[in-house]
């Protein structure tokens, strides 16, 4: 009962702030609304009992990515100015793209929700287990993807240095 009430409050918050993040005219306000969406998602993880994911969501998205976003916005020319509306054909194209994306993701989520119910155990994951899963080389262990992500991040850093050095 209490869990459902909290879930509905969080869901409403996430929905409202997602819409606000897209429709707001000021880019810094959009970033703040996006932050609320991310915090709401963290709240959902907490509700599910996935404390590790909850802490990582806050540390990475709210503490890391959003700070970088706000920094980047503050360093651009005039962060407080209202963003102009896009041309009409572009808006239609964006609408079609987002509907297609929604349909695609929705399809995948819809067909996998039943599987998730049977596979996921509603118990707290131990940090040690997560670490072993990420760093192991056996079946259902994910060392290779983990290392690939680090290569991706390395590429990002090299790219950032290249862009910064041009000036």
Partner 1 sequence: MLQPLELTNLLSWLDTTLRDSMPVFWVLLIEFVLVAVALLAAYAILAIILIYAERKITAFFQARFGPNRVGIYGILQSIADVIKILLKEIIRINNVDRFLFFAAPFFMIVASMLTFGAIPFGKMLHAIDFNIGVLYVTAVSSLGIIGVLLAGWSSNNKYSMIGAMRSGAQFVSYELSAGFALMTIVVLTGTMSFSEMIAKQEFCWNIFNGHISSIIAFVIYLISGHAETNRGPFDLPEAESELTAGYHTEYSGLQFGFFYLAEYLNMFIIASIATTVFLGGWMPIQIPGLDGFNQVMWYIPSYAWFFGKTGVLIFLSLWVRWSFPRLRIDQLLNLEWKYLLPINLVNILIMVILVLAGLTLTDLFPVLAP
**Is 35 a residue that touches partner 1 (CB under 8 A)?**
yes
Are 42 and 26 contacting, i.e. CB atoms less than 8 angstroms apart? no
Near partner 1 in 59-118, by CB under 8 A: 59, 62-64, 66-67, 70-71, 74, 79-80
Q: Find the shortest distance in angstroms from Cβ 15 to partner 1.
A: 19
Q: Does 44 bind partner 1 (CB under 8 A)?
A: no
Do 70 and 79 meet the contact criterion of CB atoms below 8 Å apart?
Answer: no
- Tell me which of 44, 55, 141, 142 binds partner 1, using CB under 8 A: 55
Q: What Å distances lie between residue 97 and 27, 85, 137, CA to CA?
A: 21, 18, 38
| Binding status of residue 58 toward partner 1 by CB under 8 A | yes
Nearest distance, CB of residue 77 and partner 1, angstroms = 14
Beta carbon nearer to partner 1, 60 or 102: 60
Classify 9 as helix, strand or coil: helix
Q: Which is nearer to partner 1, 44 or 62 (CB)?
A: 62
- Measured distance CA(109)–CA(103) in Å, rounded: 10
Q: Cα separation of 49 and 83, whole Å?
A: 40
Q: How far is CA 114 from the centre of its chain?
A: 23
Residues at the site binding partner 1, with contacts judged by CB under 8 A: 26, 28-29, 32, 35, 51-52, 54-56, 58-59, 62-64, 66-67, 70-71, 74, 79-80, 124, 126-127
């Amino acid at each position: 009962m209490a869990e459902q009430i909290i879930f509905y409050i969080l869901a409403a918050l996430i929905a409202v702030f997602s819409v606000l993040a897209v429709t707001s005219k000021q880019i810094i306000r959009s970033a703040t609304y996006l932050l609320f969406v991310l915090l709401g998602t963290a709240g959902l993880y907490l509700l599910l009992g996935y404390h590790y994911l909850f802490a990582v969501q806050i540390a990475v998205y709210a503490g890391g990515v959003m700070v970088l976003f706000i920094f980047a916005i503050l360093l651009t020319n005039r962060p407080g100015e209202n963003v102009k509306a896009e041309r009409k054909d572009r808006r239609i194209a964006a609408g079609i793209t987002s509907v297609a994306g929604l349909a695609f993701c929705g399809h995948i989520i819809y067909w996998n929700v039943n599987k998730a119910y049977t596979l996921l155990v509603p118990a707290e994951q131990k940090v040690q287990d997560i670490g072993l899963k990420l760093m192991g080389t056996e079946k259902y262990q994910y060392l290779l993807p983990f290392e690939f992500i680090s290569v991706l991040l390395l590429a990002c850093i090299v790219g950032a240095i290249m862009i910064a050095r041009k000036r």
